[in-house]
Amino acid sequence: MTPCFNEMFQNGDVRAPYAGLEGWSADMPADVRLAKQAEAEALFRRIGITFAVYGEGGDPDRLIPFDMFPRVFTGAEWAKLERGIKQRARALNAFLVDVYGRGEIVRAGRIPGKLVYQNEAYEKAVCGFIPPKGVYSHIVGVDIVRTGPGEFYVLEDNCRTPSGVSYMLESREMMMRMFPDLFRVNRIEPIDSYPDKLRRTLASVAPAKCDRDPTVVILTPGHFNSAYYEHSFLADLMGVELVEGQDLFVDGAFVYMRTTEGPKRVDVIYRRIDDAFIDPLCFRPDSMLGVAGLMDVYRSGGVSICSAPGAGVADDKAVYTYVPEMIRFYLGEEPILKNVPTWKCGEASDFKYVCENLGDLVVKEVHGSGGYGMLVGPKSTKQQIEDFRALIMADPGNYIAQPTLALSTTPTFVEEGIAPRHVDLRPYCLVGERIELVPGGLTRVALREGSLVVNSSQGGGVKDTWVLAE
C-alpha cells in the first residue's frame, strides 16, 4: 500500500496547523500523560457517556476510548470541507423532495428507478408530501476520509439520525478542562453553539399550522437504546423535553405530550427511532415505541418529524454512488468533495472487475453498517477472501466494492508513547431554514496499529477536532 498522509509530520517537518501541539506533546512527561488519561476516562465514566455510534451494535455500556491528541484543520482546509458538505446536504435534500414527488432524476435516466423505488427505505406513505422548507434530512452526517494535503473523500452520508455529536461536544469539553492552556495558545473555533443551532434548525421547520414559539421534543426509544445518553444530553442542552412514544398521543389533528400541567401540543419531533417504529397504524403494527396516528397528523401538516420519514433512501450505499450526479442534476455544480470510486457488484462489468481484484478492494454490504459484513482485501487471508467471494457470487446486488484508501493518520497516544493512527471525520450539517455546521465534527481513530476500521465496535476511539481561526 502507498504510504499514507501523516497530518502532523511531513518529511520530518511539522505541518503548520499542528505547530501549537509539537511542544505540548513532546514535553509531556509519561506520568502526567497517564494521569491525564486516567482523569479523562474517569470523567467520561462519571457523566455516563458510554454508547455506540449509530448502527454499530456492540455493548451499549462500553466506554469508547478517548484519545487526548487533537486532530487539527486549518481554516482554509475547513472552508473547503464546509462548502462541500453543505453542497452535499442541499443535493441530498433536493433528491428526497424529488423522488417523493415527480421523480425527475429517474425520468431523466440519471439514476435507476429500481434503486430508488424498490429500495427498502423508500416510503410510499410520504409520496407527494413536501415537508416544511423542503427538508427531509435535517441533520446530515457526512463521513469523510483524507488521503493527502488537499485530498478528501466522502465515504458515506447519514441522512436519518446520525449519532455521535455528543462525543464531539464532550471531547471538546474534556480537552478544555484538562488542557486549558492549549486553548489560550491556539486559536480554536468554538463548537459549543451546536445545541442552539440544532434547536433553531428544528424550530425553523415547524409546520404551517404552528402559530407560536414551536414546542420541540426529542423522541427516544428509551434507556436501553445504545444512544440514549446522547438523546438526553441533547435534550438537556437544547432545553427541550425528552419523550418516549407513550408520553405522546394524538388527539384530533395534533400531537400532544402528557405533562404535569396537562396535555401540551408538540410541533416538532426530533425522533431518534427508525421509520418502521414511529407509527403502528402506518408502519409496523407491533411497534410499541412510536405514536399511533402520528403519520396522519404529520401528512396533514399538524406536526414535523425530523428526519422526515423516508429520508433513508438517500443514504443507501448503492444510492451513494449517484450523489455526484445529484449535485450536477439539482444544483448544476461540480461536486466539491469526491466520492470514493465504487464498483457495484450488481453490474456485470463491475462484478467482473471486483472478482478479479478482491485482494486489493474493500467490499461492503449495500445495507450493512458499522464495519460488519465487510472485507478488507489487503488485510485478509486467502481463505477469508474466498469465503467472501462465495457471498458476493450468491447475491451480487447486495455488495459494493471500493479501493483501499490510504487513510491519513494523526499522532495518537498509545501504550509506547505517541504513534500515527488512521482517522476519519463526521461533521454534522444542520439543514432547516438555513444550512449550517459548527467547525469540525467527530474524529474517529482506529486505535489498533495499521487498522483502517474506525468504528467503535471494532476498536475505534474518538478525538477532539480543531479548526483553527484564520
Partner 1 sequence: MLLNVDHTTLYRYDRPVRGVVQSHRLTPSRFDGQQVLDWAVTVSGGSMGGGFRDGAGDWVQGWTVAGPVTEIEVRVRGQVQTTDTAGILRGHKELVPPEAYLRASAATEPDEALRALAQILINAESPLAGSHALAEAISEAIAYKPGSTQAQTTAAQALAQGEGVCQDHAHAMIAAARAADVPARYVSGYLQSGADGGDHEAAHAWAELYLQGFGWIGFDPANRCCPDARYIRLGSGLDAQDAAPIRGISRGQGTEILSVAVAVQTQEQ
Which residues bind to partner 1, rule: CB under 8 A?
A: 100-103, 106, 113-114, 117-118, 120, 122, 124-129, 249-253, 280-282, 285, 292-293, 295-297, 299-302
Shortest distance, position 311 Cβ to partner 1, whole Å: 16
Torsion sign, CA atoms 41, 47, 456, 424: negative
Q: Where are the beta strands (DSSP E) in 366-441?
A: 374-376, 399-403, 409-414, 417-426, 428-431, 435-436
Angle CA(452)–CA(454)–CA(455) in degrees, nearest 5?
Answer: 130
- The residue among 248 and 345 lying less far from partner 1, judged by its C-beta, is 248
Shortest distance, position 327 Cβ to partner 1, whole Å: 23
Shortest distance, position 310 Cβ to partner 1, whole Å: 11
Shortest distance, position 129 Cβ to partner 1, whole Å: 8
- The residue among 291 and 442 lying less far from partner 1, judged by its C-beta, is 291
Residue with cell 481513530: 445
* Cis peptide bond upstream of 307, omega within 30: yes
Angle CA(343)–CA(311)–CA(327) in degrees, nearest 5?
Answer: 55
* Straight-line distance from the first to the last Cα atom of the chain, in angstroms, rounded to the nearest whole number: 35
- The residue among 111 and 198 lying less far from partner 1, judged by its C-beta, is 111
- The residue among 4 and 292 lying less far from partner 1, judged by its C-beta, is 292
CA dist 22 and 266 (Å) reads 51
- What DSSP letter does each residue of 246-306 carry, written as one string? GGEEEETTEEEE--TTS-EEE-EEEE-S-GGGS-TTTS-TT-SSS-TTHHHHHHTTS-EEE
Cβ atoms of 224 and 200 closer than 8 Å: no
CA dist 212 and 208 (Å) reads 10
Cβ atoms of 50 and 229 closer than 8 Å: yes
- The residue among 179 and 249 lying less far from partner 1, judged by its C-beta, is 249
Cβ atoms of 231 and 220 closer than 8 Å: yes
- What DSSP letter does each residue of 16-43 carry, written as one string? GGGHHHHHHHHH--HHHHHHHHHHHHHH
- The residue among 65 and 302 lying less far from partner 1, judged by its C-beta, is 302
Shortest distance, position 406 Cβ to partner 1, whole Å: 40
- The residue among 128 and 341 lying less far from partner 1, judged by its C-beta, is 128
Cβ atoms of 90 and 435 closer than 8 Å: yes
Whose CA is closest to 368, among 340, 335, 391, 334?
391
Shortest distance, position 255 Cβ to partner 1, whole Å: 10
CA dist 98 and 91 (Å) reads 10
Residue with cell 486489493: 360
Shortest distance, position 254 Cβ to partner 1, whole Å: 8
- The residue among 58 and 103 lying less far from partner 1, judged by its C-beta, is 103
Shortest distance, position 210 Cβ to partner 1, whole Å: 14
Shortest distance, position 36 Cβ to partner 1, whole Å: 52
CA separation, residue 394 to residues 125, 384, 397, 398, 399 (Å):
32, 16, 9, 9, 10
- The residue among 78 and 277 lying less far from partner 1, judged by its C-beta, is 277
- The residue among 233 and 298 lying less far from partner 1, judged by its C-beta, is 298
The total of other beta-carbon atoms located within 10 Å of residue 249's CB is 17
Shortest distance, position 109 Cβ to partner 1, whole Å: 14
Shortest distance, position 332 Cβ to partner 1, whole Å: 25
CA separation, residue 435 to residues 202, 352, 467, 470 (Å):
12, 41, 19, 22
Q: Is 293 left (phi over 0), alpha (psi -120 to 50) or beta?
A: left
Shortest distance, position 161 Cβ to partner 1, whole Å: 23
- The residue among 99 and 361 lying less far from partner 1, judged by its C-beta, is 99
- The residue among 51 and 283 lying less far from partner 1, judged by its C-beta, is 283
CA dist 115 and 393 (Å) reads 20
